[in-house]
Structure 1
Amino acid sequence: MSLSRRVRFGLIAAATVVVLLVVALVVVLTLPRPLASVDVATTTADLTNPERGWTDAVDLTQPDSITSAQRDGVTIVHTYVRLDAYRDSAIPADFLATLDRGFSALRSAHMKVVLRFAYNFDGAGPDAPLARIEEHVAQVKPVLAENQDVVLAFEAGFIGAWGEWHDSTNGLATAAGKAAVLKAVLKAFPSSRDVALRYPYDIRALVPKQVTAGTAYGGSAAARIGNHQDCFLSSDPDDRGTWGQNGGTVEGDKALVASLGRYTIVGGEICGTSPRTTCPTALSELNRLHFTYLNRQFDASALALLQQGGCSREIGQRLGYRLAVTRVEWTQEADHEGTFRLELTVRNTGFAHVVNARPVYAVLSRGGTSVPVRLRTDVRTWAAGATTTVSEDVRLPASVAPGRWALSLWAPDAAADLRDIPEYAIRFAQADGWDARTGRNALPATVTVD
């Protein structure tokens, strides 16, 4: 072989080696970085969290009652807005202003409310004609829109005794009357909030196409209809007219509410004792029906039975959601303005889901700097009794400079004026990591940015 040919072959071989090295380097650089993983210890402690739990009764027009509930440590309250004095007139401006101040007091107390309008607090008391109800609904619309941030949910109200949709003195406890009131309420009340109906048979009649996984959270009327039970566990088998009425069956009605409760609000109170007022029945049905709230003041005798049965604490812990991150997997290194992989295993041992929309952020912190990066996940889909895996490639903003950053999880309120109030953020059921000053949940993970 001539010298020139040997040189040529040598150059080709060298070039081939270079190409192979470059290819190998590209492969190495493009391989996904390995995931670190750590299991997270959880806690069985009682946790205070927003938009779930036991409720106290308050009067929004009497701020002292809100202060009393705050001292009791609850985060949600129930109120009847009494319109008895205005059955024959418009609601005066000073009453609407008083109502607005009540919402402000809730905000200052870091609470939210389940709200029902009623014209009486008497099993035989009068309500108002449909035209008057429609007028009042229109009047309260701007007040509710302005204060929807501190509303957990609405109960449909207005009709009949206690606004409970029976015994109307104006003939509204009919399919047509109820349909008209519900239409007005759904149109006027903020679409971000659910509206709970008292009776399963009304839900069947007025909302023939109930919410499903495919229609949940879409803002339609069906996607906003929940259920409030005012005589839970209070008679056997129908809970004083809740179940199995107007052609329904006890089991069929419970199956309906159980289905709704996967996506909308369910709650209520106990109005008396019965053979059903036992811990096994209470825990089973609260779980099946997906209760988010329950009155802790009424009925005292029934609540005493649950206390004696040893389940009151568990009920308090599991009403609504109870979320715990049980495992974290993540890439420990990331390029500046690049991405890192974050996988969270989240267990919800509560009776229900998170009812209202709220963002979830991965927060990177170093020194005095914290940078929240919003995740795509919808916390409302973290179903009760289930484990959810959140898997995301988190894009780092330019403000995350090179260095080592600690990770935390932050689920604040969706409302801008409540976002930075830690009492409105979700506390996860971790053994360690809750920061009461910021409302963040520290994760045992760090990311080094190159």
Structure 2
Amino acid sequence: MPTTRRARRTAIVLVAVAALVALAFGVASAVPRSMQTRDLRTSDADFPNPERGWFDNVDLLDPGSISSAEHDGITTVHSYLRLDAYRDSRLPASFLRSLNTGFGALRTAHLKVVLRIAYNFDGAGPDAPLDRVQEHAAQLKPVLARNADVVFAFEAGFIGAWGEWHDSTNGLDTTGAKAAVLDAVLTAFPRSRDVALRYPADIRALLPQQVTADTAYDGSPAARIGNHEDCFLSSVPDDRGTWGQAGGSVEADKALVASLGRYTVVGGETCGVSDRTTCPTALGELARLHFSYLNRQFDTAALDRLKQGGCSDEIGRRLGYRLAVTHLGWTEDVQPGGGLGLELEVRNFGFAHVVNARPVYVVLTKGAHSVALPLKTDIRTWAPGTTTKIEEDLRLPASVTPGSWALHLWMPDAASDLRSVPAYAIRLANEGAWEAGSGRNVLSARVQVG
């Protein structure tokens, strides 16, 4: 009998120790929690999402042109910021105020811009000398920093025709001058945003070390450089000089942009028709190069050919990211202050990844009450063409009231002033998931608290 009593005492001590260990490590209960699982239905519907898709061109200095672009499912616009009048002078304060007003109009319209700065809009117009470019970039820096929230990405600009890094009238076509302009751009433009260069040859020359998974989000120059291809599908084999310049091959340049596009921004426009202007070629290269944005206004002949080929709608759906939760697992019963186990499988059906950082939350709602629980996952790593598996243990606040709570996924903008704006949140490609009024996605699951 003494042995039995000792064994009982030992068992009681072990249970007490286990309970203390569980509390120390934040486990709500030593009893295994019951998990529910569910497969979710995806949707083929076409719908807008921020920082991706077809774009329209607007004049950032003309708020009227901005408001005209907001009613047609477009979330991204492109703007040439024209500095023609200031090739020989500083930017006046009135210009900078007008630019700030234009950014405000974007915010009101719930749009974001891909911005390129240029001194002309033709194939032979003059640009500005290097010292003027550097001066203007420095002047623009505070305005750009103040309005980075409504910038999707930058195109390097400043040099040559259309700010497209060719045909400079001030000798800015050399590697040294391009390096100086790129340095001014990277210094003046917010570090949170990528800068796209026009030609892979310039990327090779100016950034011999390319971005990798280990350096993708460290803010270094290599981690911020993408590509804008402004003659997509427009000639065989080099898209009017895009590919294979300066001793490189067409294939090597495409492989370079494909590797960049996995981590940085890629976009562009068509500029003519060729034997490459076909749906199989378009879909294949948009996916390989990871396009996030494409001009829907130019070139009309090329766009008409893609429409006739039957792939325009698919391009519109898949430009950038397209995310859907395909499988969900969650803790069925949770105590206030307890742990909520979560398993998510998210498929990215898009051509590209989410380019800019943003938070991801699981949100519990009950009536007018909500609790947002941040996930540790980095949404930028949800790669195109793959399924990302997320497993996290979340801690509910002790103040959560008992009852049945609905489960949502919320991916708002990273900027504090845009976080509460539903139009800037990411919508999942799941049937019946989107709540337009909140910017959250219903996961068709309920958690019983208490």
Q: TM-score, normalised to structure 2's length?
A: 0.95
Instruction: Specify the alignment match of 2:198 in structure 1.
Output: 198
Identify the residue that residue 13 of structure 1 maps to in structure 2.
4
* Offset at residue 60 of structure 1 (A): 0.6
Contact 1:88 1:132 in 2 (8 A): yes
Range that drifts further, 41-50 or 400-409: 400-409
Map 1:16-27; keep pairs closer than 5 Å: 16-17=7-8, 19-20=10-11
8 A contact 1:371–1:399 mirrored in 2: no
- 2 CA distance for matches of 1:331 and 1:367? 20
Residue of structure 1 equivalent to 2:274: 274
Partner residue of 1:135? 135
CA RMSD of aligned residues (A): 1.5
2:384 maps to 384
* SS of structure 2 residue aligned to 1:47: coil
Measure, in 1, the Cα distance between the counterparts of 2:159 and 2:368.
54
Contact 1:343–1:390 (8 Å) recurs in 2:
yes
Aligned to 2:41: 41
Mapped partners of 1:158, 1:179: distance in 2:
12
2:204 and 2:128 map into 1 onto residues whose CA distance is: 25
> Residue 59 of structure 1 aligns with which residue?
59
How many Å apart are 1:234 and its aligned residue? 0.3
Partner Cα distance (1:280, 1:132) in 2: 44
1:366-445 aligned within 5 A? 366-445=366-445
Task: Report deviation, 1:53.
Answer: 0.1
Deviations 1:296-337 (A, max 9, x none): 000000000000000000000000000000110111122221
Q: SS where residue 413 of structure 2 aligns? A: coil
SS at 1:276 equivalent: coil
Q: How does 1:340-355 map to 2 (within 5 A)?
A: 340-355=340-355
> Cα deviation per residue 1:402-424 (whole Å; 9 max; x = unaligned)?
32211100000000000000000
Match of 2:26 in 1: none
Quick check: 2:47–2:73 contact (8 Å CA) kept in 1?
A: no
| Structure index of larger Rg | 1
Q: Return the alpha-carbon distance in structure 1 between the equivalents of residues 183 and 3 of structure 2.
A: 81
Task: For 1:323 and 1:345, locate their aligned partners in 2 and report how far apart those are by CA, in whole Å.
Answer: 10
Confirm whether residue 265 of structure 1 aligns to residue 269 of structure 2: no
Structure 1 segment 347-366 matched on structure 2, within 5 A: 347-366=347-366
Following superposition, the deviation at residue 445 of structure 1 comes to 1.6
What SS class does the counterpart of residue 69 from structure 1 fall into?
coil
Partner of 2:244: 244
Identity percentage of aligned residues: 67
Give per-residue Cα distances to partners, 1:243-276, cap 9 Å, x unaligned. 0111000000000000000000000000000000
1:324-363 Cα shifts (integer Å, max 9, x gaps):
0011011112222121110100000000000000000000
What's the offset of the Cα at 1:55?
Answer: 0.3
Contact 2:257 2:289 in 1 (8 A): yes
Structure 1 stretch displaced more, 396-405 or 308-317: 396-405
- CA drift of 1:90 comes to 0.6
In structure 2, the partner of 1:5 is: none
Please, what TM-score do these two structures have when normalized by structure 1?
0.95
SS in 2 for 1:240: coil
- 1:50-129 alignment to 2 at 5 Å? 50-129=50-129
SS in 2 for 1:259: helix
> What is the CA-CA distance between 1:68 and the residue it aligns to?
1.2
What corresponds to 2:25 in structure 1? none
**Contact kept in structure 1, 2:121 and 2:162, CA below 8 Å:** yes
How much does 1:401 deviate? 2.3
Query: After the TM superposition, which of the residue ranges 34-43 and 303-312 deviates more from structure 2?
Result: 34-43
Aligned: 1:314 with 2:305: no
Partner SS, residue 70 of structure 2: helix
Letter in 1 for 2:207: V
SS across alignment from 1:70: coil
In the alignment, the residues of structure 2 paired with residue 266 and residue 180 of structure 1 have an alpha-carbon distance, to the nearest angstrom, of 22
Q: What whole-Å deviation, never above 9, does each CA across 1:109-136 have from its counterpart, x for those lacking one?
A: 0000000000000100000000000110
* Residue identity opposite 2:52 in structure 1: R
Amino acid at match of 1:281: T
| Structure 1 residues 220 and 96, CA gap change in structure 2 (3 angstroms) | same
Name the residue aligned to 1:286. 286
For residues 230 and 113 of structure 2, the distance between their equivalents in structure 1, rounded to whole angstroms, comes to 16
SS in 2 for 1:139: helix
> Secondary structure of 1:426's partner?
coil
Out of 287-296 and 71-80, give the one that drifted further.
71-80
Instruction: State how far apart, in whole Å, the 2-side matches of 1:226 and 1:123 are.
Output: 23
Tell me the secondary structure at the aligned position of residue 355 of structure 1: coil
Gaps of 5+ in 1: 1-8
Corresponding residue for residue 164 of structure 1: 164
Kept in 2: contact 1:234–1:270 (CA 8 A): yes
Deviation at 1:22, TM superposition (A): 7.5
Give the match for residue 4 of structure 1.
none
8 Å CA contact 1:411–1:426 kept in 2: the answer is yes
Q: Distance in 2 between matches of 1:281 and 1:40?
A: 32
Distance 2:273 2:218 in 1: 39
Letter in 2 for 1:426: I
User: Cα offset for 1:14?
Assistant: 4.8
Task: String of CA shifts for 1:14-64, please: whole Å, max 9, x gaps.
Answer: 553565577679699524313210001111000210000000000011111
2:336 touches 2:399 (CA, 8 Å); kept in 1? Answer: no
Where do 5+ consecutive residues of structure 2 fail to align? 23-28
- What's the offset of the Cα at 1:448? 1.9
Partners of 2:382 and 2:326 in 1: how far apart? 14
Structure 2 partner of 1:184: 184
Contact 2:338–2:398 (Cα < 8 Å) also in 1: no
Q: Report the AA paired with residue 243 of structure 2.
A: W
